[in-house]
Structure 1
């Protein structure tokens, strides 16, 4: 009999043994938890909203809040409600009896659902379940829910839970070796493939201790696989640990492979080669994968290649291919085939039979609550079965529950198809390879540049090697045209101020005039240069930046102390500005035509004239390149003054663009770099009568001075100057009572302390509702305490130095003053060499306190307590600024209100508030945060052109060229 025939025979036997025994409609008469699942399968809109509601439920206190959220989630356009559910939701008043019944019904249904997928909330419950499984002839592996860790104290707590669990498992006679399943990322809160060395050290230490204790207790340990970004480093760590002398002989350990990953076959073959080298078998669990949606979304957002197969049928086909590969190598590994798909398990049984593999040489695995009937049927076939058993409280288990509900109710779910298919034998159809050859459809009109994917092992090495190369170039001198060789500025490394980055010749007032003279001559040529040449210039800048990515990252790491990942993202942003503004300029160039019979009307754009770009140090490449290229591509000559603290990078930008302009045969005056002291040459640049516009990013104080100076007419000036200024903010994130605290804490920490809080969009205030204030604050404190402070050259660094001694002294002074009147929740120690300031968190800060009103530009966070959402919005809007804002909430009405009422230029909901992307999140604010349109947006270039209408009467003696054609 062929393999497929045998698969069909075994599959039919398993299907018959696992028949649900009732129709799909019959299930509708079952308890509420089964009704909910049935309804979500029938109504896609309800499915989405119901699962969002369930995700929120554990965070809601009281029936009033629950009933309110029930109505807000389910009374939405596009949500089709079954009649029974409509009746249940037909209530008014959150505290009415009907509302309380609705709240209680949903809570009970969700708790019942959770218990179907979770073996217990304490060890007593777990033991009863496991003993029942044992009586049914099954073994188990236990997984503790809630492994997401944000701090080292949480990581240690996770570790200790497993030690305690193994200690409880060990004395019991289970009739088998007890097993636990763990995830490596939960052992270290800063788990990061970029920081490979540190991550390896920390995680290796933890799992070494875990394996030692497990060996003492006689408990087996299996290592789960998580998101794709962790795969390579997870496998690398496990291979090293299990190849060590201490653990090389252990057979009670296992690894996991996910069949939905396109790299999975290569991973299996590498693991097999490693196991053969090791000489002692390990368990290799084959699963299909639980994070498909997340992987697709992340790859799309990041413009990375898709790591997973696009079609479930392709995953299933790959799964069967890998099943054979594992079973063929059973002398070297112990295969564990994890699936609740009858076809998949039948196919594995057929292969094992064909290869004459003993049932004791491999096992089947199923998830608790997903396929109990299949598990029993497999046991009846004489097949060893292990049940994957999550346990823990409902709150940390909610994300697991949602994944299971999504899996059960998805269109391609085996369990759902079984309920809906009239002919069950269709479920045994061999899976077909069905991967599309066309690219994924793009939801955005502008395709941004992909950041480096540090999930690929060894990727960081390219940047570390670039840092070494750039260090050999430190200390050089840079003298741009018109700049002095006698008056210089020394730029230093803020991580190590003894290290000179370079010496830069400075421009003075006479330099400005010389540059203006060159620009005025060049403007006549550049203003009439064809758009194709201007666009080509920007494309060449972008291509050069892409080719030199690692070197630009190295320069930013060294001169402005920006950590590697953030510097890498900045290179991408600079490239995106070039390419986005190229597209926008090409769209503007044709203008508009408004012709009528006998008359032509042309609406066209022409350059404004000479522009001045005054750039900041915190984004020395991206913002500089963005402001420069916006002026150039619209036909304006540009004079560029980089910040003093990033003068070397400024010179390198100037050299790059000037060389490309020279290669085009254009005059030097089209673009000129003028490094110098801001207080000396800044006013001269702004006031000069030849200047038509000033683009500035920096402090509010300097921005307001520029705005005032530009408004003054100078002798010989025939135009009003345009000022485009971004001047910072006092950005706030509101954390609502219904927020996902895992997301909120992580987002606030990243937004407040990324690049040492030195981003225009950084979170300076977090406004927390009183109901969750204490738990949020504690997790925020411990998460911040776990951040790594150090030199930017270290990939493990999350917080580098502040920019210079002046910034350090200013921050230290303000922190000292604030400590005299406010409570400090955390003040982290910082290295004493270099310009370091450790993160500081102040609590219960009054809304009118200077710490809640004045921009500090550093790693200092004010936490404010508010009574309700109304007060939260009032406090958030209660500053002079309106740049960025954030909200963590799962209350639909609060999200809607924030969209309408939160006063800010960029509002981010349920994500961090930094990292705006060109063409996707155009960036800029209003009030005292700035003036002008948003950088990286569709109307940004309009600020650098003058619109002009040309109307021509084309009649001659009463006729027009088109008249005869009518």
Structure 2
């Protein structure tokens, strides 16, 4: 029994009250797009005289730019747009070539990107060189040509970088800025780099900002002074809402120190815009900075607002109020926004109610104009309009009159148009946003700039296209939006998060844990508390009652079962608070993990409901009574997923949950019954492994679904082998048993991205996931730099009580489990393996995140079910054969790879024996129906949970399904998901009759498998034609064999004669491949489409 008079008080203490203006900011995020944009129509509209003047100015600017010579970069981007294979290849080279340290891998990357593409473009000299290099890449002459091509390619990429970066050092940047400054341009310098991952990263960025400020000399008029743009996530390794208390305590002093240095030189600082989930933190720090007494009355503090965000007008209002309260004129830079594709993907994957950003470019344009008018009307703000769009510039000039403001542009993108703007009679000053930093820090910034330049909808893209008449470039976004049906409708190709999975299935509802109002509501729900009753253990009478009721159960038609499961999914989401509360308190799941598990449970219900909507009771016959045995690490989602699948197939279910998590199971069954699952169809029996063994051994058990240890699965298999099902076949067993899951990181991978995915894969849920990363293989050529950064980033993780929002990983399920892993770590230390550990509370059930470096794969002898990651350094020459070596471990659940050489990634994916493969992303969190989950070999029997074969395994008879090569569902934007099957391989076959032999040959041919007449270690499944006595004898022989569980599929001679066939589907191995297609800096396909 669980009882807590004051549950989640620590979580509630992490929620902070918001001022009325901040509440408005938060609320704006949830507004529907049409409603949000309708509120901006009036402010964004130009009066007729303004519109006439703006149009004439815009056309004047367009003609002036086109009359000037195009830059080489502009010509290149027109020749190779992002929608083309060549454009994507160039972006890939720009993103990865310079950071790849070893020449051999650089050569592989070049060959991968250059070959099999059509580079010739008339009138572009660079295209001839690219075409020549591509010809060498596809020929035997590559070996001789590659050193020269490599040197030339590096020069080209550095030349592209020079277009966008003012200098590798402040001295270089200031020297290049001097001629432009003499012509009247102002500058805001930006220290290149992505978010800090370690304390060393943060200290390095702090020193870079400090040195940059010391290199600048201010003007008595702050608006005339150069400025520095500060990216707050670069100054702290944990710049997230969950770590708010720590961030404010540690980052605010650093920010104040930089501001004091800038104030002393009268140099302005601007807090840069980042992802929407960080906006509240940035506003918190802006408020702290403005309220610092030392800065009272100083106008050198600035902030950046992204117009694509629905909260932009509310943020402007807050900033104006803050400036007024703190006696200053605040610099406010308005930009369109830099993370749009990331925001779309994040909201879809998170299952949020809606997007925090607009989905149409015209709506961002409307928001920009409305925000501009709002800023011009607020005296407490000094507007800074960052845009390269001639229409936007012209509209601002028309609406601003004699107001005091400036324009801003990006170095390498805006000088052409602002040279034309400066020639206008009503010209305003222009400030150039100038990135500074070494080439190795350039890459992510460079790719974002290429995306913005090359997107089809980009004004820059159209501006330089001579085929587009200037008059057609003038547009009225308000009129265009109002003409939509309905007015202000979102983009039709971008599904809202609830509809992400298509029309047939609703996406599960998630919570944005960076949203203060959502956090406050969740805290109120969780602190209400409740008490669970004592959980009775099953007695013999309970077992008899359950089996008797199950035998008497008559399933409703498939359509009715589907509606019950749809209702159950909704019901689970309405009862979020008690379920999350129990997951945290009983299963020791962190709050984000608990919410994710609830989502997965709802997804299982909806997916299986969708699968059976069109089944027929006459053709899809259930097994009868199915025993579902689930683990403690996913006590809700796996528990209910098993139940939902068995019930969907028409079976009665007897569910035995893990003995560590009885209360969660009891509540889940209670809710299932309340939602409409017939009581005769679902029976809960609580107990230990002895109970599970008794249920499996009972002849009234017609099938078993199990998730747990390999040893327990083998015991179940041996027990089931003692009898046959009522129709004379082996009793079906679906077992999922874990794995030694590996990830390979080569030298083309982006270290920051790979490290983030490694930490999430290895240490989320304290490593207590079947899919968790156990073995990291790092290319030796980068290991000396990569591994220390990984170690330092791991030390930033926070282990603590699971009811704290700040806890990244909670305790292990029991003290005994923690003790076993402590002993394992001690044993590895005794073998002289280097061990790096983070920190954790001293209580016995906690274990710090741990990295153990091993000398070879022979040290991987067991699955360590906790926060332990093994690391192996691998020379480049051994990478090609590495998946085959990993296969020798015998497991086959999940596998990951980070890199940019597509041919290498595909080779690894084709070579690895794993059910779930992840490319350039983390390897956990498979989404039901999108990435069906399950493995092979020692990792399980298949079929995959949440996949198209699963329910068919729970039928006694049914039509064969055809899943080959199908795409299962709509996929989140920015992610590619493939589902396919391939032959299992070697199949042992034995037949008594010629007809039986022919039936086996037909099944093998349909599945593409190889027949064997003798059992061997390579045997993946067996087909047997025999009488029941021989079937039973052979079944017991197979079950006793060591190694993986080998499925046996049988028919009697009589069944063969009656026309029954072996199902080829049981001879197929399912594979799910999930790829982060935005890994190289952004979703080029999406950007090109809009």
Q: TM-score surpassing 0.5?
A: yes
One of 548, 553, 568 as aligned partner of 1:517: 548
SS at 1:691's partner residue?
A: coil
Q: 1:711 to 1:247 in 2, by over 3 A?
A: farther
Q: CA deviation at 1:419?
A: 1.8
Check whether the contact 2:884–2:911 (CA below 8 A) recurs between aligned residues: no
Check whether the contact 2:509–2:573 (CA below 8 A) recurs between aligned residues: no
Distance 1:65 1:36 in 2: 26
Partner of 2:14: none
Q: CA deviation at 1:119?
A: 0.9
SS at 1:946's partner residue?
A: strand
Q: CA deviation at 1:545?
A: 0.8
Distance 2:374 2:655 in 1: 61
Partner of 2:1007: none
Q: CA deviation at 1:43?
A: 7.1
SS at 1:505's partner residue?
A: coil
Q: CA deviation at 1:137?
A: 1.2
Q: 1:688 to 1:143 in 2, by over 3 A?
A: same
Check whether the contact 2:829–2:835 (CA below 8 A) recurs between aligned residues: no
SS at 2:896's partner residue?
A: strand
Q: CA deviation at 1:2?
A: 1.7
Q: CA deviation at 1:512?
A: 2.3
One of 682, 687, 692 as aligned partner of 2:692: 682
Q: CA deviation at 1:647?
A: 1.4
Q: 1:948 to 1:352 in 2, by over 3 A?
A: closer
Q: Is 1:132 aligned with 2:191? A: no
Q: CA deviation at 1:806?
A: 1.2
Task: Judge which range, 695-704 or 424-433, deviates more.
Answer: 424-433
After superposition, what is the alpha-carbon deviation per residue over 1:470-501, rounded to whole angstroms, capped at 9, x for unaligned? 3x52xx433xxxxxxxxxxxxxxxxxxxxxxx
Task: Judge which range, 883-892 or 335-344, deviates more.
Answer: 335-344
SS at 1:477's partner residue?
A: coil
Check whether the contact 1:68–1:94 (CA below 8 A) recurs between aligned residues: no
One of 343, 361, 364 as aligned partner of 1:315: 364
Gaps of 5+ in 2: 1-47, 482-487, 961-1054, 1056-1090
Q: 1:43 to 1:204 in 2, by over 3 A?
A: closer
Q: CA deviation at 1:405?
A: 1.5
Partner of 1:423: 469
Check whether the contact 2:220–2:266 (CA below 8 A) recurs between aligned residues: no
One of 376, 397, 404 as aligned partner of 1:327: 376
Equivalent residues in 2 for 1:570-609 (5 A)? 570-589=597-616, 604-609=619-624
Q: CA deviation at 1:798?
A: 0.4
Q: CA deviation at 1:408?
A: 1.6
Q: CA deviation at 1:6?
A: 2.6
SS at 1:612's partner residue?
A: strand
SS at 1:885's partner residue?
A: strand
Partner of 1:839: 849
Q: CA deviation at 1:590?
A: 6.2
For these two proteins, the number of residue pairs brought into alignment is: 887
Check whether the contact 2:734–2:941 (CA below 8 A) recurs between aligned residues: yes
Check whether the contact 1:56–1:738 (CA below 8 A) recurs between aligned residues: yes
After superposition, what is the alpha-carbon deviation per residue over 1:645-669, rounded to whole angstroms, capped at 9, x for unaligned? 11111111122223444xx7x4x43
SS at 2:834's partner residue?
A: strand
Using the size of structure 2 for normalisation, the TM-score is 0.77
Q: 1:341 to 1:242 in 2, by over 3 A?
A: same
SS at 1:938's partner residue?
A: coil
Check whether the contact 1:765–1:863 (CA below 8 A) recurs between aligned residues: yes
Distance 1:131 1:825 in 2: 52
Partner of 2:655: 640
Distance 1:463 1:352 in 2: 44
Equivalent residues in 2 for 1:183-198 (5 A)? 183-198=231-246
One of 869, 886, 902 as aligned partner of 1:892: 902
Distance 2:105 2:895 in 1: 25
Q: CA deviation at 1:621?
A: 0.7
Task: Judge which range, 772-781 or 536-545, deviates more.
Answer: 536-545
Q: CA deviation at 1:172?
A: 10
Task: Judge which range, 816-825 or 42-51, deviates more.
Answer: 42-51
SS at 1:845's partner residue?
A: coil
Distance 1:416 1:284 in 2: 27
After superposition, what is the alpha-carbon deviation per residue over 1:413-448, rounded to whole angstroms, capped at 9, x for unaligned? 222222214533443444444354574355855442
Distance 1:654 1:220 in 2: 61
Q: 1:339 to 1:437 in 2, by over 3 A?
A: closer
Task: Judge which range, 642-651 or 201-210, deviates more.
Answer: 201-210
Distance 2:602 2:118 in 1: 40
Q: CA deviation at 1:17?
A: 5.0
One of 192, 197, 209 as aligned partner of 1:162: 209
Partner of 2:393: 345
Q: CA deviation at 1:152?
A: 2.8
Equivalent residues in 2 for 1:6-405 (5 A)? 6-15=53-62, 17-22=64-69, 36-41=76-81, 44-61=84-101, 65-76=105-116, 84=128, 85-91=130-136, 92-93=139-140, 96-169=143-216, 176-304=224-352, 305-329=354-378, 331-353=379-401, 356-357=402-403, 361-381=404-424, 383-405=428-450
Using the size of structure 1 for normalisation, the TM-score is 0.87
Q: 1:294 to 1:630 in 2, by over 3 A?
A: same
Equivalent residues in 2 for 1:469-548 (5 A)? 469-470=528-529, 472-473=530-531, 476-478=532-534, 504-521=535-552, 523=553, 525=554, 527=555, 529-548=556-575
Task: Judge which range, 295-304 or 169-178, deviates more.
Answer: 169-178
Q: CA deviation at 1:267?
A: 2.8
SS at 2:957's partner residue?
A: strand
Distance 1:312 1:477 in 2: 55
One of 508, 516, 527 as aligned partner of 1:468: 527
Q: Is 1:882 aligned with 2:881? A: no
Q: CA deviation at 1:272?
A: 3.0
SS at 2:628's partner residue?
A: strand
Q: Is 1:450 aligned with 2:458? A: no
Task: Judge which range, 724-733 or 305-314, deviates more.
Answer: 305-314
Q: CA deviation at 1:188?
A: 2.3
RMSD: 2.7
After superposition, what is the alpha-carbon deviation per residue over 1:126-174, rounded to whole angstroms, capped at 9, x for unaligned? 2212333321212211111113222233223222221222233359999
Distance 1:776 1:728 in 2: 28
Distance 1:846 1:64 in 2: 23
Q: Is 1:699 aligned with 2:716? A: no
Q: CA deviation at 1:268?
A: 2.3
Q: CA deviation at 1:719?
A: 5.6
Q: 1:717 to 1:105 in 2, by over 3 A?
A: closer
Partner of 2:20: none
Check whether the contact 2:801–2:810 (CA below 8 A) recurs between aligned residues: yes
Distance 1:81 1:617 in 2: 60
Check whether the contact 2:320–2:330 (CA below 8 A) recurs between aligned residues: no
Q: Is 1:773 aligned with 2:820? A: no
Q: CA deviation at 1:918?
A: 0.4
Q: Is 1:656 aligned with 2:675? A: no
SS at 2:661's partner residue?
A: helix
Q: 1:458 to 1:200 in 2, by over 3 A?
A: farther
Q: CA deviation at 1:684?
A: 0.3
Distance 2:202 2:674 in 1: 52
**Higher RCO (C-alpha under 8 Å, 6+ residues apart):** 2
Q: CA deviation at 1:511?
A: 3.2
